[in-house]
Amino acid sequence: MNQTHAQPGQSRYYVLAILTLVYAFNHIDRQVLVILLEPIREDLKLEDWHLGLLSGLGFAAVYSTVGIPVAIWADRGVRRDIVALSLGFWSFMTVLSGFAQTYWHLLLARMGVGLGEAGGTPPATSMIADLYPPSQRATALGVYTLGIGLGILAGFPLGGYVYELYGWRAAFFFAGAPGLVLALVVWLTVREPERGQSEARVDTARPSIRQTFAFVLGQPAFLWLLAGCMMICVSANAFLAWTSPLLIRTYSAGVGEVSLALGLLVGGLGGLGAVLIGLVCDRLSRKDLRWRPWIILASAIVALPFAWGFLNAGSLQNAYLFNIVPSFIGLVYASIAYTAAQELVGVKMRAVASAFTLFCLTLLGIGGGPTLVGFLSSAFASDGPAVSLRRALEFMLLFNVGSVLCLFMSSITYRRDAARAANC
């Protein structure tokens, strides 16, 4: 298939907007499940460890494993086509989730969603890096990360509203069907960027997979930053998956009420924070690239006391108030991690580096966080469903503490490693 290149000034904003919308659909399909965990638990007579696997490792194991071969394909093929095909497949599997009659049917369908979504982010972030120069990249990827917020903002209320009208199965139909249409829009209207155009260099040599990983493993700033972001991701996704069940169990709140409030907080406020903090990060990083890890480090420290306050709020209103700050800064680690994956490697290594980042964040973060909480909550079951879940989430805050050291270590060699990548 012929590949048509996007011109820098003509269509990069359109491409970014479409890719952000695709990323939003990625998270709509993902977060609809999250907001419905408690009704699904009651309907299918499940325990918390079942829900942990369903929202965590069952999805993430497929998603993370397939991401790397897809990224290798993306570093060699037409990334636009990969995004369109992936979007169509995961949207179809989301619709199929609505037909599930047993836990195992639903788990297999969600694994299919993970298989499709594995082809979304690596080619998309690689395209964005080719359209936006380093001085604008954190902002552009912050806009892309806004897709997480938009997906939560739409997915939570959609799931809650449709559930209260038609039941939890219908929510998957409403979430998945529009993605099939968007897949056609991507394929027909998005043009493939020329590799390296944002830095006025187009490499023709393609490094081998072995060379790519040898280079990545020789970048300590990248590895330390990735370790810090993984720890934050474990904690963040544990809270994302289990906040709704915690509020429903602790305060007897309704699914519809919780879905709207969390959609506005985690989705709306979180998306706004990703863009604004991305702008601040770009501005500060023009003077010193170490602000990339420093921004995430500061966010991890600030979030800790508010997250603890949320878990011990005493009332539903106070829980929402404590959640404002963590929600606002909760997505910043993802956009800056993707930025680092683009500026700490060579041009032809970007999709693979992004996939490696995504593999680690997904398998250990999205997979490990919710799954670990599910098993811990089941282990503490004698304390009651609300207390056991709160105790499990309190344990997850230790990961935020560990991330601070890793991010500080990343800042020590960040400038040197970025210069090495620029000359690669």
Write the DSSP assignment of 216-250 as a string of letters.
HHT-HHHHHHHHHHHHHHHHHHHHHHHHHHHHHHH
For residue 168, being part of any structural domain is answered with yes
For residue 4, being part of any structural domain is answered with no
Nearest to 291 by CA among 304, 307, 280: 280
The count of structural domains within the chain is 1
For residue 126, being part of any structural domain is answered with yes
| Amino acid at site 109 | A
For residue 202, being part of any structural domain is answered with no
Angular region, 139: left φ>0, alpha ψ -120 to 50, beta rest: alpha
For residue 2, being part of any structural domain is answered with no
Q: Are 231 and 406 in contact (CB under 8 A)?
A: yes
Burial (CB < 10 A; 0-12, 13-18, 19+), residue 130, is buried
CATH number for position 251: 1.20.1250.20
Q: What are phi and psi of 6, to 5 degrees?
A: -80, 140
For residue 70, give both structure tokens: 């897809």
Q: Tell me what pLDDT residue 65 has.
A: 79
**How many Cα atoms within 13 Å fall on the side-chain side of residue 123?**
33
For residue 15, being part of any structural domain is answered with yes
Q: Which domain holds residue 381?
A: 9-194+207-422
Q: Tell me what pLDDT residue 201 has.
A: 52
Q: Tell me what pLDDT residue 205 has.
A: 61
Q: pLDDT, tens digit, for every residue of 408-418?
A: 999 999 999 98
The verdict on pTM exceeding 0.85 is no
For residue 105, give both structure tokens: 């049917």
Residues of the chain under the 50 pLDDT cut: 1-10, 203
Alpha-carbon distances of 299 from 74, 189, 281, rounded to whole Å: 32, 37, 12
For residue 199, being part of any structural domain is answered with no
Alpha helices in 76-133 (DSSP H): 79-97, 103-117, 121-131
Q: Tell me what pLDDT residue 198 has.
A: 58
Rounded CA gap, 20 and 31, in Å? 16
For residue 117, being part of any structural domain is answered with yes
| Amino acid at site 225 | L
Nearest to 331 by CA among 360, 303, 308: 303
Which residues neighbour 260 within 8 Å (Cβ) at sequence distance 6 or greater?
156, 157, 160
DSSP secondary structure, 143-156, as one string: HHHHHHHHHHHHHH
Alpha-carbon distances of 222 from 16, 83, 124, 230, 357, rounded to whole Å: 25, 25, 20, 12, 9
